[in-house]
Amino acid sequence: MILHDRYLWSVSPCLLAWPAVVMPQGPAALVIGGTLLGCFLVDRRWTRMGALPPWYMSLRGPLTAAAVTGMGLTMYASGMGDGGGKR
């Protein structure tokens, strides 16, 4: 069963992030950042269950942090981080 779940999860991030293609830059960064965080949490759970090797999270953590930070900076640069209004 876990292999079936892993297979289904392997395509889920792409499907979750797909709407970002047609969204404005700020909201798209929010969707992608949220998807990355969700993926991190699922991978952490699977690592604790033994479905992923222990070293995986030591690589996944910093890479996810860097990608989410990039999405946060994109949101800020697009105007979502300053309350959404132009001054």
DSSP string, 25-82: HHHHHHHHHHHHHHHHHHHHHHHHHTSS-THHHHHHHHHHHHHHHHHHHHHHHTTGGG
Angle between helices 2-17 and 25-49 (to 10 degrees): 170
pLDDT exceeds 80 at position 86: no
The count of structural domains within the chain is: 1
Domain carrying residue 40: 23-81
Residue 4: predicted pLDDT:
76
Q: Is residue 52 part of a domain?
A: yes
Q: Is residue 64 part of a domain?
A: yes
Q: Is residue 59 part of a domain?
A: yes
Residue 87: predicted pLDDT:
44
Rounded Cα–Cα distance for residues 85 and 78 (Å)? 11
Q: Whose structure tokens read 């992923």?
A: 52
Higher pLDDT, 6 or 65: 65
Asked if 54 and 82 count as a contact pair (C-beta separation under 8 A), the reply is: no
pLDDT in tens, 20-75: 999 999 999 999 999 999 999 999 999 998 888 989 999 999 999 999 999 999 99
